Amino acid sequence: MRLLLAWIIYGVVQASNPHHVFAQTTPDCIAPRNVSANLRLKAACRYTGPLLIDTSNVTLDCNGATIDATRSRNGITVEGRGIRNVTVKNCKVDSAKNEGIFIKPPLNAPDMAALPMAQRYDIAPQHVSILDSTVTNSGTAGIYVGNYAESTVIKNTFVANSGSVAVYLDASSVRATIENNTFNRNGFGDPLGRSNRRRNREAIAIDSSAYNTILNNTFSGNSAGGVFLYKNCWERHDSPKQVKRWQYSSFNTIRGNRFTEKVGVWVASRQAKNLTNMNCGDPPLAPGYFRDYADHNTVTSNVFIGGDIGVIIQDDFTTVKGNRFSKQEQSCVFLGSELRDSLLGAPIEGTILVGNACTGVRGDNGFHSEGESKFAACSQNTLDDQPFDCSTIR
């Protein structure tokens, strides 16, 4: 009788706790399509995807098991109106047709844009964490962070062989932390040949996304480079699924990473690119050319090894501080664009270059500026272990 009473009391207490979620159970190697409570999978299993997490305060612990997404668009999707505090950990997501892991807004882009600004963020996913996982062989993006998502964490995760980018931060998403991950050989097109589309993409695309932190990651052998920041030009604007981007890729911090890439970091990566084939809706500066916006970003305490250029800067108020560059083919830091100068009639402003070390560069100048753009501050830099004379930058 006392034991029965104790169990009754325990059940009442748990039911009254709003943060308690009863654990789901699963048969051998068969996962539920909808994960609405804490779930721990069996380590030895290879589960068939997709899995949808549609409830707040839920942890999916794959326990080292694999989610085989060969037959599905996504491996794991996190989606729900106002969904909060979701953790995906210890998962191996493999061979999704599109995105390996998708943090998805509850409405499509036009419907989100029709809402008041505060409501857009209120109904989008917040505090979703992807931890200690592996995402491989996705047809497009390895991990896709949808628009208006807030405070996403991607940590201790390996993303490789994505057809497009390893991580995509979509328009108006904010405050993601991407930390202690490894990104390898992404951006070469669908690795399983399900699409004939050839790609040349970077590991992390920051597309109209702000206040993000890219910290202590390792980038190697990705097709176009490491981290590219840009504002989408309202691509395919005549599609009813597309909306104009209003947020710039600004106030992002890229710190403590290691890059072995063709281009490590490219600030405003579409500033001087002909985008005719993207059918852009933004006002053109000239046929095929559009203003790119990626200002007030910081690149600090990173290591860049090999490749063509460590950091390219093509928008305003970038700080490049305390980085180490070695064996670049062209430049350690490259500032400016003559095309941008002519189209906008103004050079890039506010670039700070402080305390960087450049060794073994094979080009004419380790720190280079093009056109009318000049470094607003330049001090304490070294070139081949000697103090660098900023007056030689041209």
Domains belonging to the chain, first-starting first, are 46-300 (2.160.20.10)
Q: For every one of its 394 residues, what pLDDT tens digit does the chain have, with 9 covering 90 and above? A: 343 333 333 343 333 344 434 456 566 889 899 999 999 999 999 999 999 999 999 999 999 999 999 999 999 999 999 999 999 999 999 999 999 999 999 999 999 999 999 999 999 999 999 999 999 999 999 999 999 999 999 999 999 999 999 999 999 999 999 999 999 999 999 999 998 887 899 999 999 999 999 999 999 999 999 999 999 999 999 999 999 999 999 999 999 999 999 999 999 999 999 999 999 999 999 999 999 999 999 999 999 999 999 999 999 999 999 999 999 999 999 999 999 899 988 999 999 999 999 999 876 679 999 999 999 999 999 999 999 998 888 7
Strand partners, 169: 145, 206
Query: Is beta strand 46-48 parallel, antiparallel or unpaired with respect to 66-68?
Result: parallel
Cα 20 to Cα 37: distance, rounded to the nearest angstrom: 9
Q: What does the DSSP assignment read for 109-173?
A: HHHHHTS-HHHHHHHS-EEEEEES-EEE--SS-SEEE-TT-BS-EEES-EEE--SS-SEEE-TT-
Residue 272 half-sphere exposure toward CB, CA atoms < 13 A? 17
The residues near 117 (Cβ < 8 Å, ≥ 6 apart) are none
* Alpha-carbon distances of 274 from 226, 280, 318, rounded to whole Å: 21, 11, 23
Taking the whole predicted model, whether its pTM rises above 0.75 is answered as yes
Q: Is 284 helix (H, G, I), strand (E, B) or coil?
A: strand
Q: Is 313 helix (H, G, I), strand (E, B) or coil?
A: strand
Query: Is beta strand 289-290 parallel, antiparallel or unpaired with respect to 284-286?
Result: antiparallel
Cα 365 to Cα 388: distance, rounded to the nearest angstrom: 11
* Alpha-carbon distances of 285 from 213, 290, 338, 373, rounded to whole Å: 31, 5, 14, 19
